Structure 1
Amino acid sequence: MIVQKKENLLFSIDSLKKILGFYPKNLTLLKKVFVYDFINNTTINSDNDYLDFHRLEFLGDAVLNSIISHFLCEQLPEKKEGDLTQVRSKIVCRKNLNKISKKLLFENILLNHKFYYISDNILGNTLEALIGFIYLELGYVGCKRFVYDKILHYYVDLSKIQKEIFSYKVWILEWSQKNKFFIKFETYKEDKNQISIKNKHYYLSKLTLINYGIKTIGKGLSKKKSEENAAKAAYIIMKKEDNQTL
């Protein structure tokens, strides 16, 4: 995602009004939704603004989870708690919120002048902060209407998202349990003598699917990521070998 220099970092209230569906009253609080210096991934205002941003983000995250839970109970009445939790996790995962924020927020609000690259995660965080702001402006009912009308109905395809794999590790553990296969993960840090890119040490994970004849290796900057990559590699092999089993 790209944005302009911070001296041009101004959002259009008129453009924002079109997205929100109402004219915001508390403009002072609204500006705290946009406190980041997108060039350096830091804040351009005071420490109080920075604190307020994260408080709005915290509030928006909680409200968003509540509204989406309500939405899923309405749309998927046959699903159990565990299934609903998985679908909600896919909707509110960082990657998905970043995508929605790109489409809904910055590309429509920020002025189009001199551009720089910024972290996608900041986009998702800002979307959560904006939802927190909307909740304070309109209350739960008004915020729910915004999330339904502007996010869920436009950017969430339940039939598609239910088929997506949120975590390959979770998937393969559930699959092995269901089909009575034994699975083993071995994870360790890369040898200290093998310096990686930018002097970062990686984790290596070995996955063995006993009785199925599959062994894979995953690599990542964290234990979680390396195990996820090993599980994804196993999934790809299994899918090629026997689609019907999956």
Structure 2
Amino acid sequence: MSKHSNYKDKRLYYKKDEFKKFQELIGISFNNEKLLFQAFTHSSYVNEHRKKPYEDNERLEFLGDAVLELTVSQFLFSKYPTMSEGDLTKLRAAIVCEPSLVSFANELSFGYLVLLGKGEEMTGGRARPALLADVFEAFIGALYLDQGLTPVVQFLEKVVFPKINDGAFSHVMDFKSQLQELVQRDNKGALEYKILQEKGPAHNREFIATVSLAGEILGTGTGRSKKEAEQHAAQEALSKLQPK
């Protein structure tokens, strides 16, 4: 029997060892390796091998997109019990957007594993952001089909969730939410906002607010509304609490 009997295309055959190393790296062993190969198979590769039973990763990408949204949503829902639906949505969008998915894929060298057609390879497809983002979603879909939701969460706990915990996506949150996140993370206590002063005529009011922690004023802010003043107070507090 030929050593290529299971992997008739040489490129796929030689990728087999790389996929084994990849599974060792991430600490996951697929029960059905065909799902893993499919997750990394681009449509251009399938188009060049139409006589062979290869499937591209587009359907897995569709599934992975939904699984990723669910698992990230569940994590955010638990981590930020006081965050509004709108802020949760914005934060999730930043985590599952293309640039973020590309960074996750690059961190694990996904581009190296992708099976591409010759034309796509020659035009730099291996580093194309949209392709890498799709592959990351397809991998999540494949892992879900192979082993269920828990291993997906365990994988994200290594690759994605630590970045959320480190504040990598806090730029999309409002200042009050960022301050709340910082205080909750360090278990420093409860924040208290107060409106100290309202001044000016009714059509041009100005508010002065403070935010305190354990009786200590961390920041003071002004604004045309109470909410705006509180946001500016939180912004000042963040500048004091966050490391430079």
Q: Is the 8 A contact 2:42 2:57 kept in 1?
A: no
Counterpart for residue 120 of structure 1:
129
Match of 2:62 among 58, 65, 78: 58
Counterpart for residue 94 of structure 1:
98
Go from structure 1 to structure 2 and tell me whether the alpha carbon gap of 1:41 and 1:162 turns closer, same or farther (over 3 Å shift): farther
Residues 14-51 of structure 1: CA distance to partner in whole angstroms, max 9, x if unpaired? 222124312212122221112227xx68754449744x
Which portions of structure 1, spanning 4 or more consecutive aligned residues, are displaced by more than 3 angstroms? 6-9, 40-50, 107-111, 155-158
Q: Is the 8 A contact 1:56 1:130 kept in 2?
A: yes
Please state whether the residue corresponding to 2:83 is helix, strand or coil. Answer: coil
Q: Which runs of 5+ in 2 are unaligned?
A: 1-8, 116-120, 174-231, 236-244
2:110 maps to amino acid: F
TM-score normalised to structure 2 length = 0.54
Please state whether the residue corresponding to 2:57 is helix, strand or coil. Answer: helix
Residues 54-110 of structure 1: CA distance to partner in whole angstroms, max 9, x if unpaired? 111111100000000011012111101111000000000011111211112426757
In structure 1, distance between residues paired with 2:109 and 2:92:
21
Match of 1:145 among 144, 151, 154: 154
Go from structure 1 to structure 2 and tell me whether the alpha carbon gap of 1:86 and 1:76 turns closer, same or farther (over 3 Å shift): same
Counterpart for residue 39 of structure 2:
33
In structure 1, distance between residues paired with 2:58 and 2:160:
21
Counterpart for residue 131 of structure 1:
140
In structure 2, distance between residues paired with 1:101 and 1:132:
14
Q: Does 1:159 align with 2:167?
A: yes
Go from structure 1 to structure 2 and tell me whether the alpha carbon gap of 1:90 and 1:138 turns closer, same or farther (over 3 Å shift): same
Residues 153-212 of structure 1: CA distance to partner in whole angstroms, max 9, x if unpaired? 2x43563412248xxxxxxxxxxxxxxxxxxxxxxxxxxxxxxxxxxxxxxxxxxxxxxx
In structure 2, distance between residues paired with 1:33 and 1:45:
16
In structure 2, distance between residues paired with 1:121 and 1:139:
26
Counterpart for residue 168 of structure 1:
none
Aligned residues: 158
Go from structure 1 to structure 2 and tell me whether the alpha carbon gap of 1:110 and 1:28 turns closer, same or farther (over 3 Å shift): closer
Go from structure 1 to structure 2 and tell me whether the alpha carbon gap of 1:107 and 1:156 turns closer, same or farther (over 3 Å shift): farther
Q: Is the 8 A contact 1:35 1:44 kept in 2?
A: no
Please state whether the residue corresponding to 1:163 is helix, strand or coil. Answer: helix
Q: Does 1:72 align with 2:76?
A: yes
Higher CA-based Rg: 2
Higher relative contact order (CA 8 A, sep 6+): 1
Please state whether the residue corresponding to 2:81 is helix, strand or coil. Answer: coil
Q: Is the 8 A contact 1:105 1:127 kept in 2?
A: no
In structure 2, distance between residues paired with 1:107 and 1:146:
18
Counterpart for residue 205 of structure 2:
none
In structure 2, distance between residues paired with 1:36 and 1:14:
19
With 100-109 and 138-147 compared, the bigger mean Cα shift is at 100-109
Please provide the CA RMSD for this pair.
3.5
Q: Is the 8 A contact 1:15 1:108 kept in 2?
A: no
Q: Which runs of 5+ in 1 are unaligned?
A: 1-5, 166-243
1:24 maps to amino acid: F
In structure 2, distance between residues paired with 1:7 and 1:121:
26
Go from structure 1 to structure 2 and tell me whether the alpha carbon gap of 1:163 and 1:19 turns closer, same or farther (over 3 Å shift): same
2:84 maps to amino acid: K
Q: Does 1:84 align with 2:88?
A: yes
Q: Is the 8 A contact 2:144 2:151 kept in 1?
A: yes
